[in-house]
A = this chain, B = another copy of it.
Amino acid sequence: MVDAPLRLMGLDPGSQRTGYGIIQAGDRSKPELVAAGVISAPAKQPMERRLQKIYRELREVIASHRPQEMAVEGVFAAKNARTAIMLGQARGVALLAGAQDGLEVFEYPPASVKMALVGTGRATKEQVQMMVKAMLNTTARLPLDASDALALAICHLQSRKLLAKGLK
């Protein structure tokens, strides 16, 4: 079972835009892009409807592509309490969507993700996107929220590999 292809989902939740990306990786092959996109939840709708949309569409994505694990940003900074609570709400329903399908959730600090992909914790979203496209060998048009999500999935894959090596 060690060589069975593994599907990992990266998630970049937000109260207005939630990016997601799924990659597939065997033990010896390079990771491939399976799916990526952005779920929009327009600010003019009531918050509970927006949360419902994020939850429903994420569950559809998970049902379609069957990832086994989920990586999200560990966010512990925000402009103010209101922003943090709004972000937390979107993050909560996103984590719930994964948990309902039995996905294990892993968290990575934003700086670690940038470091893993670009080699510096201060990389821009555009630099991250360029590396994501190169590493997945794709020319697909990706919104920045989607490439951020894919970066999380790639970071998680690298961390799993390092862990596996460490355990040998």
Identify the A interface with B (CB < 8 A). Answer: 46-49, 51-52, 55, 75-78, 81-82, 84-93, 95-96, 98-100, 105
Contact = CB atoms under 8 A, between A and B. Distances in A.
B84 A78 contact: yes
Nearest to A82: B76
B46 A96 contact: no
B88 A51 contact: no
Contacts of A52: 96, 99-100
A81 B47 CA distance: 20
Given A88-B87, A95-B51, A81 B78 contact: yes
Interface centre among A75, A77, A87, A89 (most CB of B within 10 A): A89
A76 B105 CA distance: 27
Contacts of A51: 92, 95-96, 99
